[in-house]
C-alpha cells in the first residue's frame, strides 16, 4: 500500500465544494509538487492529509493510519506526518533549540539529553548549528523556515507536507530553503509540496499534480507534464507562471 492514499475525497466549506473527489496515491520517497491557481484547493488538500481540516466524503489513509480530525488520531498521525507552513509558525517565546526539543520531549517522551542531541543534529542538517540558543525573531525568514524544517524533522516523520514554504521569503532567501528540501529529497524523504517554484518541481520533484477547480486536473511525471501539458488549463497556468 502507498504511503499516502486519497480515495474520492470531497471537502466542503459550508456550501462551497472545495475538493471534488480527489484520488491520489503517493509512494515512499516520492517528491510530489502540487500546483494550481489560487483557490484551486491546494492548501485544503494538504491540510486534509494530516487532519487539520475535516473532509466530508471518501477516505484518506497515511502510513496505514486513517486520517480524521479526532484529537487522538491527529496526534497519532503527527508521528508520521510533518508540516511546514508559509509563515513558519515558530514559537516566538522559545529559543530555536527549545522549539525543536519541545515535541520530542513532551510528545515522544524522550529524555532531555536525547531531545537535545536530536535538535542539534537537525539544526546541523539545515545548516544552522550555531543558532541553537537564538530566538526566532533574531533570524532571517530563510533561517526561520529552516528551523521550522528542523523542528518537523525532529519528530522523525515519514512524509513532510510543505505549503508554499518559500512564498513569504525575500527572493534571495528562497534558495537556501530549497537546498534543504533538495537534500531531504536525496535522502529519500517523501515530500508533498504546494509550490510556485516550477524549476524546483521539474528538477527535484518526481511528480506534478495540477489542481483546478477542486479536482486533480492533470498529473504525471514532472518533466513530461511541465514540458508537454495536455489540458488547456495547465497550458494556461504554465504560461502564466513562467
Partner 1 sequence: MIEFSNYDILRNLLFATQWTILLSLAAFIGGSSVALTLTALRLTRNKVVHSLIRGYVELFQGTPLLMQMFLCFFGLSMLGYEISAWGAAILSLTFFTSAFLVEIWRGCIDTLPKGQWEASRCLGMSFLQILRYIILPQAIRVAVAPTVGFSVQVIKGTALASVIGFVELTKVGTMLNNATFEPFKVFTLVAIIYFLLCYPLSLYSKVLEKKFNGSR
Which residues of this chain interact with ligand ATP, rule CB under 6 A? 13, 16, 18, 36, 38-44
Least Å from the CB of residue 228 to Mg ion: 26
- 121 contributes a contact to partner 1 by CB under 8 A: no
What is the pairing mode between strands 65-66 and 81-84? unpaired
Cβ atoms of residues 101 and 116 within 8 Å:
yes
Binding site partner of 95, from ligand ATP, partner 1, Mg ion, none, Cβ cut-off 5-8 A by kind: none
Nearest approach, Cβ of 86 to partner 1 (angstroms)?
9
* Minimum distance, C-beta of residue 98 to partner 1, in the bound complex (Å): 9
Nearer to partner 1, 166 or 222 (CB): 166
Nearest to 152 by CA among 34, 48, 50: 50
> Does 194 contact partner 1 by CB under 8 A?
no
Nearer to ligand ATP among residue 41 and residue 142 (C-beta): 41
Site size toward partner 1, by CB under 8 A: 28
Q: Which of 22, 24, 103, 115 binds partner 1 (CB under 8 A)?
A: 103
Distance CA 129, CA 63 (A): 31
- What is the rounded CA–CA span in Å between residue 185 and residue 36? 22
Residues 6+ apart with CB under 8 A from 168: 86, 87, 88, 141
User: Of the candidates 7, 10, 12, 85, which one interacts with partner 1 according to CB under 8 A?
Assistant: 85
Which 30-59 positions form the footprint of partner 1 (CB under 8 A)? Answer: 50-52
CA 19 to CA 133: how far, in whole Å? 42
Strand 57-62: give its sheet, edge to edge.
16-26, 4-13, 57-62, 65-66
Answer for which of 5, 33, 43, 190 binds Mg ion (CB under 5 A) is 43
Cα–Cα distance for residue pair 128/203, rounded to 1 Å: 25
**DSSP SS3 for 13:** strand
* Shortest spacing between CB 224 and Mg ion, in angstroms: 25
Interface residue list for partner 1 (CB under 8 A): 50-52, 71, 74-76, 78-79, 81-83, 85, 87, 89-93, 102-103, 106-108, 148, 151-152, 155
Amino acid at each position: 500500500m502507498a504511503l499516502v492514499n486519497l480515495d474520492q475525497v470531497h471537502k466542503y466549506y459550508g456550501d462551497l465544494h472545495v475538493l471534488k473527489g480527489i484520488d491520489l496515491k503517493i509512494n515512499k520517497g516520492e517528491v510530489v509538487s502540487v500546483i494550481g491557481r489560487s483557490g484551486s484547493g491546494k492548501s485544503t488538500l494538504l491540510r486534509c492529509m494530516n487532519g487539520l481540516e475535516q473532509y466530508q466524503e471518501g477516505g484518506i489513509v497515511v502510513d496505514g493510519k486513517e486520517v480524521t480530525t479526532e484529537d487522538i488520531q491527529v496526534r497519532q498521525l503527527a508521528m508520521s506526518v510533518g508540516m511546514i507552513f508559509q509563515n513558519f509558525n515558530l514559537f516566538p517565546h522559545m529559543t530555536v533549540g527549545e522549539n525543536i526539543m519541545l515535541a520530542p520531549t513532551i510528545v515522544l517522551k524522550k529524555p532531555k539529553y536525547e531531545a537535545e542531541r536530536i535538535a542539534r543534529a537537525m539544526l546541523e542538517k539545515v545548516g544552522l548549528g550555531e543558532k541553537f540558543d537564538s530566538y526566532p525573531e533574531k533570524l532571517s525568514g530563510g533561517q526561520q523556515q529552516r528551523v521550522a524544517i528542523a523542528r518537523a524533522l525532529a519528530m522523525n516523520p515519514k512524509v513532510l507536507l510543505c505549503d508554499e514554504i518559500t512564498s513569504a521569503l525575500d527572493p534571495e532567501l528562497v534558495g537556501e530553503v530549497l537546498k534543504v528540501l533538495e537534500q531531504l529529497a536525496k535522502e529519500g524523504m517523501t515530500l508533498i509540496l504546494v509550490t510556485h517554484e516550477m524549476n524546483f518541481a521539474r528538477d527535484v520533484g518526481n511528480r506534478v499534480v495540477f489542481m483546478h477547480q477542486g479536482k486533480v486536473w492533470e498529473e504525471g511525471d514532472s518533466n513530461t507534464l511541465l514540458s508537454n501539458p495536455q489540458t488547456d488549463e495547465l497550458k494556461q497556468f504554465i504560461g502564466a507562471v513562467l
